[in-house]
């Protein structure tokens, strides 16, 4: 079983330390917050844009895009993965947000945006730790990347402008154009997606697959954690006083997220097993469905609603909840494999 490095193993601790540093900066040094906020151009904060793009580049560079045909050849796995990611997942998160957060408009919106952003990053770590099929994990992540670029703008319009009104949320009036969201997706997902694709295509041709996987990928991988912690420090520095005054809001946002992760994982795992998937395929589908792309959700929230919005705050709470929950689900996956003697086909 692959093991996380010392740094990755205590990712939750580093995230909480980054939160503390950010809150301390914002609370004791308000001039820092103002300086960061002033570094914005046309609604895009430059330090955060750099952090978010760098955060997403290494996972996308790890994806072997030539493996996509392998997913299409297994129609059952494809069916359950697409259904969970692009139908059940967004609907479930919307329902949970409506149940728990409909009286908190900003948090409702932030959590819905999380549900629309399918995981394309840390899912690869959880899949490896659970001995899932790496090829299927990579292929499904690549597929989610492609779908996300094409569908995220439409989904955001549907779940934030159309459905809330149908449920009687008359006060929920969002001024979000599909063009604005498309621009955010193009910047924060399109740029690292293209960079990752071109990196693999050009460097493997020049230096070979072994060099790319054994030398290049380990070299750039730390960028994800560094950029994640940098982004959290910046985000929380802008919300220092707010976080200290509303700790209960973190719990309020965490409840629907915890329910979402557990339900998505369990349903995906056993649905894939029922449809004939082996253990490796089952784990890959389950982790791909349960995880979310918080980087994109945060980026869209910042771009549309601003750095100090409740929507962005909800997005930041996301990874703080996801990491410990998916670590527990990794252990659950391995326990189920042992209990039922599940096999991975060779």
Q: What's the pLDDT tens digit per position in 271-315?
A: 999 988 899 999 999 999 998 887 778 778 877 787 778 888 898
pLDDT band at 231 (very low <50, low <70, confident <90, very high): confident
Q: Average pLDDT for residues 169-184, to the nearest whole number?
A: 61
Sign of the torsion angle spanned by Cα atoms 175, 177, 180, 182: positive
Say if CB 234 and CB 242 are below 8 A apart: no
pLDDT band at 1 (very low <50, low <70, confident <90, very high): very low
pLDDT in the model for residue 24: 87
**Strands (DSSP E) found in the chain:** 40-41, 44-45
* Alpha-carbon radius of gyration of the chain: 19
What pTM, to 2 d.p., does this model score? Answer: 0.78
Least reliable range by pLDDT among 176-190, 235-249, 265-279, 296-310: 176-190
- Structural domains of the chain in order of their starting residue, each with its CATH number: 14-337 (1.20.1530.20)
Where is pLDDT greater, at 246 or 171? 246
Structure tokens at 88: 């059940």
pLDDT band at 30 (very low <50, low <70, confident <90, very high): confident
């Amino acid at each position: 079983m692959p093991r996380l490095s010392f740094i990755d193993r205590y990712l939750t601790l580093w995230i909480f330390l980054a939160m503390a540093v950010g809150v301390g900066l914002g609370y004791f040094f308000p001039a820092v917050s103002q300086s960061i906020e002033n570094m914005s151009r046309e609604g895009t904060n430059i330090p955060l844009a750099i952090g978010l793009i760098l955060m997403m580049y290494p996972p996308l560079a790890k994806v072997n895009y030539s493996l996509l045909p392998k997913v299409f050849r297994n129609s059952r796995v494809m069916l359950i993965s697409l259904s969970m990611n692009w139908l059940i997942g967004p609907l479930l998160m919307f329902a949970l947000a409506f149940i728990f957060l409909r009286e908190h408009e900003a948090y409702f919106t932030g959590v819905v945006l999380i549900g629309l952003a399918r995981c394309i990053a840390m899912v690869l770590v959880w899949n490896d730790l659970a001995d899932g099929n790496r090829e299927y994990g990579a292929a499904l992540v690549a597929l989610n990347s492609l779908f996300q670029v094409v569908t995220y703008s439409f989904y955001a319009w549907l779940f934030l402008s159309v459905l809330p009104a149908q449920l009687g949320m008359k006060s929920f009036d969002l001024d979000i154009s599909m063009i604005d969201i498309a621009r955010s997706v193009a910047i924060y997902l399109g740029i690292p997606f293209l960079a990752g694709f071109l990196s693999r295509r050009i460097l493997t041709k020049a230096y070979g697959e072994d060099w790319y996987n054994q030398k290049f990928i380990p070299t750039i991988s730390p960028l994800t954690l560094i950029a994640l912690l940098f982004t959290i420090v910046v985000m929380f520095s802008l919300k220092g006083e707010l976080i200290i005054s509303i700790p209960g809001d973190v719990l309020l946002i965490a409840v629907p997220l915890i329910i979402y992760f557990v339900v998505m994982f369990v349903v995906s795992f056993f649905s894939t097993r029922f449809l004939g998937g082996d253990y490796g395929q089952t784990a890959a589908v389950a982790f791909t469905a349960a995880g979310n792309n918080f980087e994109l959700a945060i980026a869209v929230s910042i771009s549309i609603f601003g750095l100090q919005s409740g929507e962005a705050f909800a997005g930041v709470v996301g990874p703080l909840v996801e990491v410990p929950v998916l670590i527990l689900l990794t252990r659950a996956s391995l326990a189920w494999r042992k209990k039922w003697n599940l096999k991975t086909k060779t």
